[in-house]
Structure 1
Amino acid sequence: MVKSLLNQLHTFFCYTLILAGLLSGHKVEAQSLEEMQQIQQARQAADAQKVDVSRYIQSESRFKRSPGSEGVTPGRNGESGASQNIRPFGANLFDGSFEAERSDGFNPAYRVAPGDKISVQLWGTVELAEVLTVDNQGNIFIPQIGPVQVMDVPATEVNQVVKTKIRSVYTNNVNAYVNLLTATPVSVFVAGPVIRPGQYAGLPTDSILYFLKRAGGVDPVRGSYRKISVLRNNQSVQEYDLYEFMREGRLPPFSFKDGDVILVNEQGPMVTVEGAARYPYRFELTEQRSRGSDLTYFSRPLAKTSHVAITGNRPDGPVSVYVPFSEFEDFDIYDGDVVLFNDDLQPQVISVKVSGSYIGPSFYTVKKDARLLDLLPHIEVDAEHADIDSIYIKRESVKAKQRELLDESLRRLERSVFTAPASSDGEARIRAQEADLVMRFVERAKQVEPLGKVVLSEQGRIANIRLEQGDEIVIPLKTDLVQVSGEVLMPQAVVYNSEARLTDYVAWAGGYSERADDERIAVIHANGLTTFFETGGSSHWFSSASEAQIRPGDQIMVLPRVDTKLIQSIKDITQIIYQVALAANVALDSN
């Protein structure tokens, strides 16, 4: 009770300090609401459970330690906590609910036991239709024939054994049909490192997976998936390696008897696999020292793997080696090792895509140091239809940078709104309403996808830049149209007119809408360049609309006007609207 009260006082004191800073006119560079909640939860967990808060700090990579990584709980033989969190290979075998699915058939290797039900039907000279129970001596008793020994007879041979006995008495004109109907339930013990060891009922034909699942599955920290024994009268009668089942589908058939014990042995040497592998799990080895080929058989590294990093402990101290993949096959690995499969070969060629108006292939493979003008002569185009003077590139790295800059602007906008001071209750309510509007604007802005345009051409000259992997070379199609979009009454395509001015095209599209910013217009040229124009005279970095040279293929975009009631954040919102227009060619509305 006292601790809870102290926590509440601590939280109240923190918020009081923040509020005092706001009222004094100082802007607080606050963290986001989500980050504050996470910090508060971490502090409460530390107070309640007396744990090190540094455990909440996780490094991005095993090979990059962050401050506070000393608090990471070490695993067995020095394995990091991150490695320990990787599930063992085979652990997902017990995630399903297959124990609820029962089979009506029998295992071919099942042997008849006392209590089983056998259907016997005779017709001809003698007629009989009965279901007989195997007695404690292993016999079924057939009238006029006597006892027939069937105990330990395989299920596939019961029919033949009983029919042979019947024909020894009735040699002629008697037909027989014998069928094993049901097996007597058995009680099997499950012991060792499993989640719920104990005694479980099932059918003799049930698989070992059924009983292990009933026991909660193998303990992923202590139990072995490769050394599971079935004991009968304290003697091992069957051995299982679940890796063979997971990898090759092999599960030896076995018929359980009452009192059998399934013993899961202690977990063997474990090696953690990371990186370029199809199965990045913790693998159990059968020997204390194994070869790399034993691990690759189960982990299946990707074809692109070129090198392998091995870290671990040896009797003479820690080791960390980096070897080619071809040498890893014969490399000795030990318990606790961490194996990282890596693609460390730099490609000597890159792939480039072509879109727009072109003839021929759409993908080209070039040397990694190739430049644009090295490739352009190999791209076929129709000179009458392709606007080769307006070529531009869409580049993933530019797209990522535009996304990063836009996200940073949005975070700055959120901080400016949530830390704006309020001198009265009425102003605080207004700020809350403004914050709601801004948050809706931010959500829409986050959904905008930048194009990653790289402007290359100007006045017929094309920059000879170095190409990058994944570049998309865009060759615009020649057109006689000018697109008018954004805050106009009728967004549409207008035929190019060499005598028309910028404002004429806007007028032909129905004029400005009521939410339009009629003082600034963006023009996106066919080569990807975006220019902003002032309709009421030039100012700042804008050009006057009278200087605008509209060309065929251009897109005129009328931007929305920012509501002046958002006076605290109008500059930031305006900046973001321009960023979106530049990066994504979209007129984002602030309302």
Structure 2
Amino acid sequence: MIAKKLKTYGGLLGLMSALVWPNAQALETQLLDKEEQTEILQSGVPVFGQSLFQGAFKDQPFSGFNPDYRITVGDQVNLQLWGAYSFSATLPVDPQGNIFVPEVGPVHVAGVNNGELNEFVLRHVKRVFKNNVRAYANLEASQPVKVFVTGYVNNPGLYNGFSSDSILYYLDSAGGIDRDSGSFIDVKVLRGDQLLQKVNLYNFLVEGSMPALQLRNGDAIVVGARNGAVSIEGAVQQAAQIEFIGPYTQLGEMLLVAKPDPQANFARITQVIDDRQQASYLPLEEALTTPLYPGARVELVRDNDIQSISVSVSGELDGPASYVLPYGATLEDLLSQLNYRDNADQSAVQLYRKSVADKQRAALERSLDALQMEVLTRQPNTELEKGAQSENAAMIQKFIAQARKAQPRGQVVLANNPNAASMLLEDGDELVVPLRNSTVSVVGEVIFPTSLVFNERHTLEDYIEMAGGFANNANQDELVILHLDGTISRIDDSKFDNRLKGELRPGDEIMVMPKIQSSELQVTKDVTEILYRIAVGTAAVLSF
């Protein structure tokens, strides 16, 4: 029921809605040691619903009028007859489902709705007493039952109650749901081996909705194991760890429970995806549909309240994996706090930023769109050209499909910039300090892409030869060297046999680009641009 309201909630909020290195919202990515992974949920954030079971239900068994309750064996029916014949007694519903009315005989009431009981009994009385006798019947007490409560509750056991009592009564009697291991959204009521009802207590907590169940002796209430949960805090009306079913959920659905502050306009999201911790700072309307995975932590923010940022660090460092810095902190402020290991390469510090990756991605998409338009709109002049163009277009389309899968890293180039230290950091930035390297990688269009021990006496030609030589599709006119610090060098074939002292360094990647085989000059130019864009942005060579 709650899930169905996501669109409604989005409507209420209105769903508030070129390779450059700009400042913008940030996404950090940090490789985690699997042994060090811990759930991001904070123990200080309460579990949603944990205050539900504090004795208020078990101390107040339900004795009110439930018109939908069906009379069953063991119930007590209070019957009053007056007029020409008087009678007053509380009659039990016997094992055959009858009450015995003097002068009338057995009346089968089992299965009759409580709201219709009086009229039902009166009709049977009138069959004997045609005139001057009136009747009044009401359910005095429902059947006493014993119900098993088990699963992830604090005190599993067999509990006394009435068939009209709600499952909240029995759960409370069992000490409530275990806050650390029990589920508030996966509660089952079983009758034998049959599922009688599946209950999501969030519907009761948020909307007051609770199914009216009629329990019997031996029924079982089973609380399942806790599902995935996310932590919602900050500018919300109720900070809580909120449970959900499935591999992931969305913030919009979680906010139906947590209820955002009306002035909240940004969300800071931290979660682990594919063994990597990711953090993002997004406008709320964009964050509403962001997938949240188990263990995610979300903090809603009023943008004008931001006083601090968090930056993750990884690599050859001792100390914390993230730092909280004052809003407006610079790269120098962070670097001064780091404790480098002996093998750290401080000259090749890398900074990654989501906004940069987004810009790289947008620029790549524009180039791919332009290339696709160029190929699809070109008009052949002859039948021979038509055949060649069709074959060429198919090849280009295949290349475009591959290129759209490229994922830019978003590296901010710090080298050769005297003002890098004074650059403002953004919330969610990721800083990586690499290991001092002793190898050079050769990738792309070579026979055996590999990593080789760096030797300053070797030339580019030597490294290519040690990688098996150029592949048939290699561009042998130029090589690209991608340095650890994000800078690149383009070396033409006249320098392949030079040692390039200082220009080729340990940790570099020698990238052998593919040769573009196209009869169309513009296509060749466009594809070349895209290949270089992908190589720089993703540190990978795409074949053509």
| TM-score normalized by the length of structure 2 | 0.50
Higher Cα Rg, which structure: 1
Q: Which has the higher contact order (CA 8 A, sep 6+)?
A: 2
| TM-score normalized by the length of structure 1 | 0.46
